[in-house]
Amino acid sequence: MAGASASAAGAALLGRSGQLRSAGSASATAPSRLRSSGGRLDLDLVAQETEVAIPGGPARALTYNGLLPGPLLEIDPGDAVRINLHNRLPRPTNIHYHGLHIPPGGSGDNVFLSVGPGESHSYAFTLPADHPAGTFYYHPHSHGTVADQVFGGLGGVLIVRGALDRIPAVRAAAEQVLFLKDLPAERGSSPMGMGLMLGREGAVLTVNGQVNPTLSMPAGGLLRLRIVNGSSARFWRLALEEHPFHLIATDGGALEAPVELVELLLAPGERAEVLVRGERQGGRYRLLNLPYTRGAGGMMGGMGMGSGPGQQGPVSIATLAYAGSVAPLPLPERLLPVELLPEPVRRRRFVLNHGMAPGMGMVFLINGRPFDHGRIDTRVRLGDTEEWELVNDGVMDHPFHVHINPFQVISRNGKPEPFRAWKDVVLLRPGETVRIRTRFDDFAGRSVYHCHILDHEELGMMGILEITA
């Protein structure tokens, strides 16, 4: 797109989003929403630095269309999506559609494509007609600027509607998106050295760009939370006072039946959908982020890592307030079948670790090698089912992520997973071995797998996957 029309489109959107932003901070806690209609979603996304109003947070952040988080995109299977990305940042950027099963080449989910400062690119893809419903995540993915740009604020939620939404007990629930992002404090210093190696965390915890927003629900009601960890390194370990979570979907969509959880841990890039029952009579309950340590216990000479600057105990990130009451709504008993994948035709092993490289300091490695954009690390065949053994040989947590095709976790440290679920990020704690199974369906092309602590990805923990027909 030409510069003139790009800036006109941007200006029009900015006017609109400015209003949306002030409306949002006054009351609601939902990101501004763009819904496809007539089988199409067409929009402009302007990546730029803008002023933001976040108590205790930075005065400026990186935003899409002036919004933090970016607009909430909502589409149906079969929809044609066109996104005109305009880069008003000083460094290259692009867009990755985290979790979507769409072509990895051309103007689809192409992370090798780079949009330079002042340039625009028109992304276009058609979501497969059988794409599962779920909660997905768009964010920049241009190697070398990913961690800075995600930590700086960029990212947004993409909802695919479908069968899960049509289950009566799910449809009856009130829906709320929670986009979780930590931001640096107003006077935070920029991290260097070890901070960067371990993965930057900000001290200001935001939900949909707000600090401790209020969510409301009636007694007897059901609240469906679509939770996205949009942080570059922070893990969110959530618990809601006096209310269990009923997990109904993971990264790639629905489970077979709800699973009750007392707390929910989400590594960067992970998503979960949970139902909360309004089983109390009234009152206010805190949604807490509990402290979490991302390994590396002995490495830092006692300096804590994970849970970010200063988080020693639970922090309230949102408040659930009861308002009114309704006749009690039941939880769904069954959700959707989760396919049992066939026996793998091939097994591979990926060892995650770190080391020192001359002149580079610490590097993060997969099978002993740091990322090289000119090297294809893993070649697979379209249609094959494979089983990958992932081994964390290091001293820090690494959430392993694969693009384009979701996977199922088969076992962790030799113990079978308790239930089948579609995932695209799986956490490996130090010393753990996890087996995942995946099938390379529909799309040939080149993509990546990497650690979703984005500072680790930038420092080498990524490989290139080529799927050939």
Does residue 342 have a cis bond before it (omega within 30 degrees)? no
* Binding test (CB under 5 A) with Cu ion, winner from 88, 98, 423, 435: 98
Produce one character per residue of 135-153: b if its CB has 16 or more CB atoms within 10 Å, e if not. Answer: bbbbbbbbbebbbbbbbbb
d(CA 296, CA 456): 14
336 binds Cu ion, rule: CB under 5 A: no
* Binding test (CB under 6 A) with ligand C2O, winner from 21, 86, 88, 96: 96
For residues 268 and 229, the answer to whether their CB atoms sit within 8 Å is yes
Residue with tokens 């740009």: 149
Candidate segments 30-38, 208-216, 350-358, 448-456, binder of ligand C2O by CB under 6 A:
448-456
Burial of 30 (0-12, 13-18, 19+ CB in 10 A): middle
**Residues 98-117: x where in contact with ligand C2O by CB under 6 A, - otherwise, as a string:** x-------------------
Amino acid at 335: L
CB of 454 to ligand C2O, least distance (A): 8
398 binds ligand C2O, rule: CB under 6 A: no
Residue of 230, 60, 261 whose CA lies nearest to 154:
230
Residue with tokens 């069968």: 163
Q: Which is nearer to Cu ion, 13 or 453 (CB)?
A: 453
For residues 421 and 256, the answer to whether their CB atoms sit within 8 Å is no
CB of 11 to ligand C2O, least distance (A): 30
446 binds ligand C2O, rule: CB under 6 A: no
294 binds ligand C2O, rule: CB under 6 A: no
CB of 411 to ligand C2O, least distance (A): 24
CA dihedral 195→196→199→202, nearest 10 degrees, is 60
Please name every residue paired with 396 in a beta bridge, in sequence order, or none if there are none.
295
Cα 106 to its chain centre, rounded Å, is 23
* Binding test (CB under 6 A) with ligand C2O, winner from 88, 139, 143, 435: 139
CB of 452 to ligand C2O, least distance (A): 6
Beta strand spans in 169-300 (E) = 174-183, 204-207, 214-219, 222-229, 236-240, 245-250, 253-261, 264-266, 271-277, 284-289
141 binds ligand C2O, rule: CB under 6 A: yes
246 binds Cu ion, rule: CB under 5 A: no
Q: Which does 133 bind (CB under 5 to 8 A by kind): ligand C2O, Cu ion, none?
A: none
d(CA 408, CA 430): 20
Number of residues that bind Cu ion (CB under 5 A): 6
Q: Which is nearer to ligand C2O, 140 or 202 (CB)?
A: 140
Q: Which does 451 bind (CB under 5 to 8 A by kind): ligand C2O, Cu ion, none?
A: Cu ion
d(CA 458, CA 354): 13
CB of 138 to ligand C2O, least distance (A): 9
Number of residues that bind ligand C2O (CB under 6 A): 10
* Binding test (CB under 6 A) with ligand C2O, winner from 88, 143, 226, 403: 403
453 binds Cu ion, rule: CB under 5 A: yes
Give just the sign of the alpha carbon dihedral 185, 182, 52, 146.
positive
Give 330's DSSP letter: P
Restricting to residues 412-451, name those near Cu ion by CB under 5 A. Answer: 451
| Contacting residues toward Cu ion, per CB under 5 A | 98, 398, 403, 451, 453, 456
| Contacting residues toward ligand C2O, per CB under 6 A | 96, 98, 139, 141, 269, 401, 403, 448, 450, 452
